[in-house]
Amino acid sequence: MDRKIRVGILGAAGYTGGELIRLLLNHPMAEIVFANSESNAGNPVCEVHEGLDGDTDLRFTDTMPWEQVDVVFFCFGHGKSRAFLQEHDIPPHVRIIDLAQDFRIAGDHDYVYGLPETHRQQTAGAMHLANPGCFATCIQLALLPALHGGLISGDIHVNGITGSTGAGQKPGATTHFSWRHDNISVYKTFTHQHLLEINQTIREILPEYDGRVLFIPQRGCFARGIFVTAYARCETPIELVRQAYADYYRDAAFTHFVTKSPDLKQVVNTNKAVVYVEKYEDQLLMICCIDNLLKGAVGQAVQNMNLMFGLDEKAGLCLKASAF
């Protein structure tokens, strides 16, 4: 584009809204036109999203001037996007990037599932885009090369641990500091909602795949990040598996195959995904880690915005890892 992309943000007062504002303030080709939050209308954004003092004079608004924007980000809680669209008419020229789960499963809508590593071309031409879930992103990036190469079979066993920001900004019993600190627990065992989109991708790649994804999510004692370990049956020598992974992610903008077992701090505060594999007899271990608020949410959303508007995929996303 020969001018900056004009952006509107809905649900701008939550964790994802705050992260999105931080990214877009430093994006060379984006301009925030409005940050909508009815409960905070009129208040400075930096009063809610601390750390933005001196960076912006932007205030929350309860208005939505559609005619002034090119794209709008939905940073709602799950289930609210469909309801919002039933009550509001967004002009057809305005692109929509939805960070909730409302349109991730194919159905009675035209939303493209926006995982760049699998749907890059569709994303580039999309008017409406469903941004993948955080666990779904991390798990799929661990599995994709193995699925594409037909390297694994049978049930896929997955463990994933996530930071407290994955539960959203609204306080709850399992996000309270005194409960979360020095603690760990499992939740939604084998039933997590992101399994729907993971299985959808598996069926797209390998319709005949007959294994199950057996996923145990865990709450971790840290603020941000996701660390996933997965394993499944594999008869292929590890050297060929590693080559398949290296080849698959060779041209990926943010997903990197590594030959040393990774740790979470390599990706926290970045839009990177780091992927590693190892073989134990007939079992292939696949590891992936991401920042749940960035590659698992708004970082990937901005990456998708870049693709939708024909920009450099990395624009506004060259971020420093929290290495120590």
Between CA 69 and CA 78 the distance in angstroms is: 24
Residues 288-311: pLDDT tens digits? Answer: 999 999 999 999 999 999 999 999
Question: How many CB atoms are located within 10 Å of the residue 164 CB?
Answer: 22
| pTM for the whole structure | 0.95
pLDDT of 270 strictly over 80: yes
The set of catalytic residues is 134
Mean pLDDT for all residues in the chain: 94
Sheet of 95-98: strand order equals 60-61, 30-36, 5-10, 71-74, 95-98, 128-130, 112-113
Confidence (pLDDT) at 181: 84
Question: How many CB atoms are located within 10 Å of the residue 145 CB?
Answer: 25
Domain 134-292 has CATH 3.30.360.10: yes
Residues 7-20: pLDDT tens digits? Answer: 999 999 998 999 99
Domain segments of the chain: what residues?
A: 5-132+295-308, 134-292
**Both ends of the chain: CA-CA distance in Å?**
38
Superfamily of domain 5-132+295-308: NAD(P)-binding Rossmann-like Domain (3.40.50.720)
